[in-house]
């Protein structure tokens, strides 16, 4: 049962190209969308509230290797000319939106958690993909997401364009284990105004490894216990924090995003632990569905084979569960595993906008185009890149692909928004009566991780080739790898339409560096009248102090502690923060069609489908 640190969900904007929304009380008038600004101009308030002004870094390790967090200097937008050096002198803002990914809301008391597998990855060269089976801070996952919502809501606008954030998109893996209770927690956290509680099973007993409910194993951190010799977390400097679990289990009221948000489907949203279809029959146990609600907690596994490269996923499952030990926990029907249709239906039960958050009621298809008005200059397409049926090799069963029906649907949507494109043979095609729109694609998996092609799924290489046939595609935003990363995808320099698109991947909320992004799109002309596009990506830290200073009395204090614990994860991958070029950047593209005179509409999002209506006050998103 591969348990990797990466997985799902994507959102887009109902044609909300910089709609004039007064977000969370941090309003900007609609004139912000009409004002020109110099691409070299000073940043409003020097990027206050983002990593443009300051960021968070690991401090020096103490004698045991444990690190506190320190404030780092701000990072300016790095100019990326990988695709073109063409850069406008002045830019017309088009849209600003939030990009979250890989929230991984975790029910850490669930019987379907496989914490005991984490130890197999203690050695860096182990080769086993179990490094996310257990995290010392996982019982604080709700608090981390609440802190990121607070950060986006308080920011309220793009730091470069000053445009109000029109929406937020979540590019997958909103939850960790495809469970109903995890899904409800995540929706309520983003909607805001809801009471949420990181607890399940017994109302009177904490049945987690953090509480030592399953013996005093040296492989887990038990914050209520005094440091003990031989415990690998205590030896690393994790200390005793009396009262932490009680504080973490208390209900609190979610702050919410304070803006429309859209959802993308990820592998953890559709599969148990992001790797196993929910209808799997477990060897030596009941079905996975039955076990998740009624089963016992797995506590100890056998020795695993030394080599895994040629092992089928189900061979690994048999090896893992042959002789595994377990202990009973309290049944909980709220842990029910959700089918795609049920996951979509839960998004219809929301206090936020739009209802369904992009998904259509009564459907089991998790890909869609966001509704838009005719004059919106940008179109947003959301894909379902999961492949829960493609399970042949443990190395890539969590990775993605696009099925044949969806691939054909994607091509038709791209044609709808492209007056000119290229067919599969490279021939230019012009469509009368079709108006050009800029195209942004959201999905969970980066192109290089779309390797799970079983069941007639298309690979990332095929998806890339399709998108490059349509010059109006300018951006793909995704997650899955838990890494800040930006990659160019360019057509040849001698192509009839040189250019390409940028792929922007966001880090996770559950793992270091615990960051998200703000993305802004603008267009303009250089001194010779040549038109170009600038895409600004700005990394955002959570709204939490560097240290909780012993405070356990608020969600903000608990999120601060959770982030500190995350950077001290024994298997932390610090490269997930990304290189300088992968964080704050200005990404250049040649304009694929004339953009002079294109402006963002002066309307706000409203309605059940997220379409924009006439100029009006922003609807309340909290109950």
DSSP 225-268: SPP-TT-HHHHTT----TTHHHHHTS-EE----SS-EEE---HH
Predicted confidence at residue 133, as pLDDT, reads 85
Structure tokens at 571: 């298997």
For 595-620, how does the pLDDT look when each residue is reduced to its tens digit (9 = 90+)?
Answer: 987 766 433 343 444 444 433 333 22
How far, rounded to the nearest angstrom, does the alpha carbon of residue 601 sit from its chain's CA centroid? 27
In-domain check, residue 25:
no
Average pLDDT for 424-449? 97
Choose the weakest-confidence range: 213-222, 417-426, 445-454. Answer: 213-222
How many separate domains does the chain show?
1
- Among 15-19, 350-354, 405-409, the minimum mean pLDDT is found in 15-19
Element (H, E) at 184: helix 180-191
Q: Which of 621, 567, 562, 529 is nearest to 244 (CA)?
A: 562
18 pLDDT more than 50: no
Nearest to 277 by CA among 102, 115, 446, 397: 397
Q: In degrees, to the nearest 5, what angle opens at C-alpha 62 toward C-alphas 56 and 65?
A: 85
Residue 102: give its domain's CATH number.
Answer: 3.60.21.10
Residue 19 located in a structural domain? no
- Confidence at residue 42, expressed as pLDDT on a 0 to 100 scale: 46
Q: Is residue 496 part of a domain?
A: yes
How large is the average pLDDT for residues 440-463? 95
- Distance, in Å, from the CA atom of 102 to the CA atom of 506, rounded to the nearest integer, reads 8
Residue 7 in any domain: the answer is no
* Confidence at residue 305, expressed as pLDDT on a 0 to 100 scale: 61
pLDDT for residue 281: 84
Q: Which residues of 388-397 are buried (b: 16+ CB within 10 A; e: fewer)?
A: bebbebbbbb
pLDDT tens track for 504-519: 999 999 999 999 999 9
14 located within any domain: no
- Kindly report the CA angle at 189 between 185 and 195, in degrees rounded to 5? 75
Tell me, yes or no, whether 43 lies in a domain: yes
Rounded-to-10 torsion of CA 173, 177, 179, 185? -50
Which of 132-136, 237-241, 512-516 is predicted with the least confidence, judged by mean pLDDT?
132-136
pLDDT average, residue stretch 431-435? 96
Do 6 and 400 touch, CB atoms closer than 8 A?
Answer: no
- CA angle, 527 then 501 then 35, to 5°: 45
The answer to whether 261 touches 190, Cβ cutoff 8 Å, is yes
Report whether 79 contacts 91 (CB < 8 A): no
pLDDT tens readout for residues 102-116: 999 999 999 999 888
> For residues 565 and 287, what is the distance between their CA atoms, to the nearest angstrom?
34
* pLDDT at residue 306, rounded to an integer: 58
pLDDT band, very low/low/confident/very high, at 213 (cuts 50, 70, 90): confident
SS3 category, 433: coil
Q: Is 622 contained in some domain?
A: no
On whether residue 526 sits in a domain, the answer given is yes
For residue 120, the model assigns a pLDDT of 76
The answer to whether 505 touches 485, Cβ cutoff 8 Å, is yes
Place of tokens 């080739």: 465
Residue 576 sits in which domain range? Answer: 30-613
Q: pTM, whole model, 2 decimals?
A: 0.89
Residue with tokens 């795609």: 340
């Amino acid at each position: 049962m591969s348990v990797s640190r990466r997985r799902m969900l994507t959102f887009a904007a109902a044609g909300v190209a910089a709609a004039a929304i007064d977000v969370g009380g941090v309003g900007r008038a609609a004139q912000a969308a009409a004002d020109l600004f110099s691409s070299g101009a000073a940043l409003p308030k020097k990027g206050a509230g983002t990593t443009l002004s300051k960021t968070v870094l690991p401090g020096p390790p103490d004698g045991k290797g444990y690190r506190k967090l320190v404030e780092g200097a701000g990072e300016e937008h790095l100019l990326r000319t990988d695709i073109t050096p063409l850069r406008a002198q002045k830019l017309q803002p088009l849209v600003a939106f939030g990009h979250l990914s890989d929230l991984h809301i975790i029910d850490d008391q669930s019987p379907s958690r496989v914490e005991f597998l984490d130890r197999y990855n203690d050695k860096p060269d182990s080769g086993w993909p179990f490094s996310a089976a257990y995290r010392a801070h996982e019982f604080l996952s709700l608090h981390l997401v609440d802190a990121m919502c607070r950060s986006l809501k308080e920011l309220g606008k793009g730091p470069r364009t000053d445009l109000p954030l029109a929406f937020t998109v979540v590019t997958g893996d909103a939850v960790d284990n495809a469970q109903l209770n995890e899904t409800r927690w995540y929706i309520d956290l983003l909607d805001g105004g809801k009471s949420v509680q990181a607890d399940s099973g017994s109302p009177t007993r904490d049945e987690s490894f953090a509480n030592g409910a399953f013996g005093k194993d040296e492989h887990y951190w038990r914050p209520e216990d005094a440091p003990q010799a031989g415990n690998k977390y205590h030896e690393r400097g994790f200390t005793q924090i009396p009262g932490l679990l009680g504080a973490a289990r208390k209900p609190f009221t979610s702050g919410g995003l304070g803006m429309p948000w859209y959802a993308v489907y990820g592998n953890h949203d559709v599969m148990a632990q992001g790797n196993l279809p929910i209808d799997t029959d477990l060897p030596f146990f009941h079905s996975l569905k039955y076990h998740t609600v009624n089963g016992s907690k797995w506590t100890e596994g056998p020795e695993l084979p030394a080599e895994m490269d040629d092992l089928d996923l189900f061979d690994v499952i048999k090896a893992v569960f042959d002789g595994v030990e377990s202990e009973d926990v309290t049944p909980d029907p709220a842990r029910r595993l959700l089918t795609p249709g049920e996951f979509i239906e839960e998004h219809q039960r929301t206090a936020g906008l739009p209802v369904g958050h992009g998904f259509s009621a009564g459907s089991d298809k998790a890909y869609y185009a966001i509704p838009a008005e005719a004059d919106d200059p940008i179109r947003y397409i959301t894909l379902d890149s999961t492949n829960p049926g493609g399970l042949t090799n443990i190395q890539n069963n969590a990775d993605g692909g696009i099925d044949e029906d969806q691939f054909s649907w994607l091509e038709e949507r791209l044609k709808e928004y492209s007056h000119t494109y290229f067919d599969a043979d490279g021939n230019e095609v012009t469509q009368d009566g079709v108006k050009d729109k800029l195209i942004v694609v959201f999905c969970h998996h980066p192109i290089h991780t779309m390797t799970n092609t079983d069941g007639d799924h298309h690979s990332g290489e095929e998806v890339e080739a399709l998108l490059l046939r349509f010059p109006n595609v300018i951006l793909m935003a995704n997650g899955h790898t838990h890494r800040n990363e930006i990659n160019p995808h360019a057509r040849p320099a001698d192509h009839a339409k040189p250019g390409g698109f940028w792929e922007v991947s966001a880090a996770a909320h559950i793992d270091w560096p615990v960051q998200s992004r703000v993305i802004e799109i603008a267009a303009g002309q250089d001194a010779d009248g040549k038109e170009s596009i600038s895409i600004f990506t700005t990394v955002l830290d959570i709204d939490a102090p560097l240290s909780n200073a012993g405070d356990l009395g608020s969600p903000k204090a608990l999120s601060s502690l959770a982030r500190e614990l995350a950077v001290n994860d024994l298997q932390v991958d610090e490269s997930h923060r990304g290189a300088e070029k992968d964080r704050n950047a200005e990404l250049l593209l040649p304009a694929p069609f004339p953009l002079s005179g294109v402006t963002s509409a002066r309307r706000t999002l409203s309605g059940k489908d997220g379409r924009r209506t006439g100029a009006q006050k922003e609807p309340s998103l909290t109950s």
